[in-house]
Chains A and B, each alone.
Chain A
Amino acid sequence: MSALDLSRWQFGITTVYHFIFVPLTIGLAPLVAGLQTAWVRTGDERWLRLTKFFGKLFLINFAMGVVTGIVQEFQFGMNWSEYSRFVGDVFGAPLALEALIAFFLESTFLGLWIFGWDRLSPRVHLATIWLAAVGVVTSAYFIIAANSFMQHPVGVVFNPVTKRAELTSLLDVLTNSTTLAAFPHTVTASFVVSGTFVAGIAGWWTVRSAKAGREDDASMYRSALRLGLAVLVVSGAGVAYTGDVQSKLMFAQQPMKMAAAEALCDTEKGAGFSLVAVGDLGNACDVRQITVPGLTSFLATGDFAGELKGVKDLQKEYSRLYGPGDYVPLLPATYWNFRMMIGFGAFSAALALAGLWLTRKGAIPSSDRFAQLALLALPMPFLANATGWIFTEMGRQPWIVAPNPTGDPRNRFLTAEAVSPYVDTPTVALSLVVFTVLYGTLAVVWFQLMRRYAAAGAPVVPAAGSSSGPSDDEDSPLSFAY
Chain B
Amino acid sequence: MDIHTLRIIWFVLIATLWVGYLVLEGFDFGVGMLLPVLGRTDTERRVVINTIGPVWDGNEVWLITAGGATFAAFPLWYSTLFSAFYLPLLLILVALILRGVAFEYRGKVDDDRWRRRWDTAIIFGSAVPALVWGIAFGNMVHGLRVEHYRAGPFSVLLHAFTPYALLTGLTTVTLFLLHGALFLGLKTRDDLRERAVRIAGKLSIPTAAVAGAWAVWTQLSYGKTWTWVPVLAAAACLAGVVLAARAGREAPGFALTSLTTVLAVVIIFGSLYPNVLPLLGGESLTIDNASSTRTTLTVMTWVAVVMTPVVVAYTTWTYWVFRRRLGLGDIPVPIGRPHRPDPAS
Contacts and interface: CB of A to CB of B under 8 A. Distances in A.
A480 B332 contact: yes
Closest A-B pairs by Cβ, 9 of them: A88-B75, A77-B82, A92-B72, A92-B71, A96-B68, A63-B104, A81-B79, A84-B79, A81-B83
A269 interface: no
A479 B67 contact: no
A438 B94 contact: yes
A115 interface: yes
Interface residues of B, number: 80
Given A114-B54, A477-B331, A99 B65 contact: yes
A221 B103 CA distance: 30
Contacts of A76: 71, 82
Given A93-B300, A438-B97, A455-B341, A478 B150 contact: no
Interface in A446-482: 449, 452-453, 455-457, 475, 477-482
20 contacts: A66-B57, A68-B97, A81-B82, A84-B79, A88-B74, A88-B79, A96-B72, A104-B58, A111-B55, A169-B295, A170-B295, A423-B152, A426-B152, A442-B101, A456-B337, A478-B330, A481-B331, A482-B50, A482-B104, A482-B107
A101 interface: yes
Contacts of B16: none
A325 to B, nearest CB: 24
A100 B96 contact: no
Given A77-B82, A100-B303, A482-B107, 12 more contacts: A64-B101, A77-B79, A78-B86, A81-B79, A88-B71, A96-B303, A108-B318, A111-B55, A115-B53, A423-B86, A434-B90, A456-B337
B318 A73 contact: no
A235 to B, nearest CB: 27
B234 to A, nearest CB: 28
Contacts of B70: 92
Interface of A: 59-60, 62-64, 66-71, 73-74, 76-79, 81-82, 84-85, 87-93, 95-101, 103-105, 107-112, 114-116, 119-120, 164, 166-170, 420, 422-424, 426-427, 430-431, 434, 438, 442, 445, 449, 452-453, 455-457, 475, 477-482
A112 B54 contact: yes
B77 to A, nearest CB: 9
A78 B71 contact: no
Interface stretch (B244-252, B265-273, B307-315): B307-315
A105 B311 CA distance: 8
Interface in B120-179: 149-154
B296 interface: yes
B90 A63 contact: no
Interface in B55-93: 55-58, 60-61, 63-65, 67-76, 78-84, 86-87, 89-90, 93
A143 to B, nearest CB: 11
A91 B1 CA distance: 22
Contacts of A84: 71, 75, 78-79, 82
B49 interface: yes
Nearest to A72: B64
B68 A98 contact: yes
Q: Counting chain B CB atoms within 10 Å of each CB, which of A59, A84, A91, A168 scores highest?
A: A84
B100 A63 contact: yes
A95 B71 contact: yes
B103 A482 contact: yes
Given A64-B101, A77-B71, A115-B53, A104 B311 contact: yes
B41 interface: no
Contacts of A87: 75
B322 interface: yes
A92 B101 contact: no
B266 to A, nearest CB: 22
Contact of B64 (A60, A73, A81, A168): A73
A99 B308 CA distance: 11
A482 B106 contact: yes
B296 A93 contact: yes
Interface string B283-308: 00000000011011001100110011
B312 to A, nearest CB: 10
Contacts of A60: 104-105, 108
